[in-house]
Structure 1
Amino acid sequence: MDPDDVRHAAQWFATELRARPDDEFDYDRPARGLEWTCWYTVEHVVDDQLSYALQLSGRLTDGYLPLTPPGEGTNLLRVDRAAGAEGLARTLEAVAELLAAQVELHPRTARAWHPDGISDPGGFAAMGVCEIVIHAWDVLSALDDEVADLPEDLCEGVLARLFPGTPDIGTFQDQLLWQTGREELAGYGRLTSWRWEPTVR
């Protein structure tokens, strides 16, 4: 996947967040299928974009940068609650742009470490997009009390890069939700554990 995919995903989710202001929607409720709140889940997405951008910028091949989260939780970044859903949206767009810029800057031959395997700029773009869309589904489904719809083009791109061999059943959203342990797929039970394949192919 490429920098514009990262931007597209972030702008889409940011628009959805702005349509759900925190004075009308409960961001303290658990995201669908998670123990995290909706607010913390979006912060996690923001944090992932930064982490992937840092991995690429440093071309680290032996682990993450030795950064320590402030306070509770594992996120390096926290968004001021007073900024509301608009603050979440703006921060997501800004940090995703950092990842997009790093993907754009580095050649395809660049490599960086991820726990699931050494990856390239396109792989980090795909992981960034995947984190956005699957957690957007978790958050929006919880806020709306109904299953959210995801951009099919982004789901297709993530599947092609990170989940080779996905059964060609249903929509790309159906397939991605199955691959990430969120839903069943016709003829296939819900996965209780999952991992993506970011290694260079």
Structure 2
Amino acid sequence: MSRSAETESVLSTVTADDVDLAVRLATGILRDAPTEGWGRKAGSLEWDCWETAEHLANDLFYYAVQLGPQSPPLDTHVPIALSRKRPDGPTVFLYADRDSGPAGLLQVLEACGALLVAMLRTTPPQVRAHHAAGVSDPEGFAALALQETLVHMHDLAEGFGLAWTPPSTLCTRVLARLFPEAPGGADPWLTLLWATGRGELPGHPRLATWRSDSTPRS
């Protein structure tokens, strides 16, 4: 591999630091969210903002747990029981205590993010674990976490009426890792929203269905 190719590979790799940054940016914005807005619908989702943030925390927790066993399962998730509070709500492993309010919910989100970041920093790159988007390596789980954080923050920002434009470098890395067939040449953030069914690009109508690919690249 040439030096330029090696540099490009390093720059496109999704890391634990990327996930840590995204979660910190997200929680920083959500701390300013109006208290009365947590019951509003989150963007185009059928979930409210509380449920969406809770779902995001569960995603981060799920990825950390998948990487935890000495021999991670490859055909299903680690068997922590799933539940939901209402038929159209998200299916989750854990709930934030409603009595703790939004501040408590954000602590749960931060804690789940920290667990994943710690696992990403300590799990050998050759480890493989189950995910519905494909048996994945630690970098794949980092990319999935980054995708979930960036995109669900878009949903939350729409619900609250807040501005949210993540760093282009984070969007570029997610696209390279999970959506290698996405069209190039457009703004990376707008392309990621298109790739996850949340927007249109010139010459590319909004997607009705979409799927990321977390399988290892080598």
TM-score with structure 1 length normalisation?
Answer: 0.93
Query: 2-side partners of 1:37 and 1:21: how far apart?
Result: 14
Q: CA offset at residue 19 of structure 1?
A: 1.3
- Which residue identity does 1:63 align to in structure 2? T
- Which residue identity does 1:197 align to in structure 2? D
Query: 2-side partners of 1:135 and 1:54: how far apart?
Result: 20
**Residue 166 in 1 paired to residue 177 in 2?**
no
Select 2:50's aligned residue among 39, 53, 63: 39
- Which segments of 5 or more consecutive residues in structure 1 lack a partner in the other structure? none
The corresponding residue for 2:39 is 28
Q: Is the CA contact (8 Å cut-off) linking 1:106 and 1:121 kept in structure 2?
A: yes
Select 2:66's aligned residue among 55, 78, 90: 55
Query: 2-side partners of 1:147 and 1:184: how far apart?
Result: 19
Query: 1-side partners of 2:34 and 2:159: how far apart?
Result: 14
Q: After alignment, is 187-196 or 62-71 more displaced?
A: 62-71
User: Structure 1, residues 35-77: CA drift from partner, whole Å, max 9, x if none?
Assistant: 1001100000000011111111122212112222355251111
Query: 2-side partners of 1:158 and 1:82: how far apart?
Result: 35
- Which residue identity does 1:7 align to in structure 2? D
The corresponding residue for 1:155 is 171
Query: 2-side partners of 1:84 and 1:159: how far apart?
Result: 34
Q: SS of the residue aligned with 1:5?
A: helix
The corresponding residue for 1:117 is 134
- Which residue identity does 2:17 align to in structure 1? D
**Residue 93 in 1 paired to residue 107 in 2?**
no
**Residue 178 in 1 paired to residue 191 in 2?**
no
Q: Is the CA contact (8 Å cut-off) linking 1:137 and 1:150 kept in structure 2?
A: no
Select 2:153's aligned residue among 117, 136, 146: 136
CA 1:130/1:191 → structure 2, altered by over 3 Å: closer, same or farther? same
Query: 2-side partners of 1:54 and 1:6: how far apart?
Result: 16
What is the percentage of aligned positions where both structures have the same residue? 40
Select 1:9's aligned residue among 22, 26, 29: 22
Q: SS of the residue aligned with 1:27?
A: helix
Q: Is the CA contact (8 Å cut-off) linking 1:169 and 1:185 kept in structure 2?
A: no
Q: CA offset at residue 182 of structure 1?
A: 0.3
- Which residue identity does 1:96 align to in structure 2? G
- Which segments of 5 or more consecutive residues in structure 2 lack a partner in the other structure? 1-13
The corresponding residue for 2:92 is 75
Query: 2-side partners of 1:83 and 1:108: how far apart?
Result: 37
* Larger-gyration structure (1/2): 2
Q: CA offset at residue 125 of structure 1?
A: 0.6
The corresponding residue for 2:9 is none
CA 1:19/1:40 → structure 2, altered by over 3 Å: closer, same or farther? same
CA 1:70/1:189 → structure 2, altered by over 3 Å: closer, same or farther? closer
TM-score with structure 2 length normalisation?
Answer: 0.86
Query: 2-side partners of 1:50 and 1:30: how far apart?
Result: 23
Q: Is the CA contact (8 Å cut-off) linking 1:169 and 1:175 kept in structure 2?
A: no
Aligned length: 198
Q: CA offset at residue 200 of structure 1?
A: 0.5
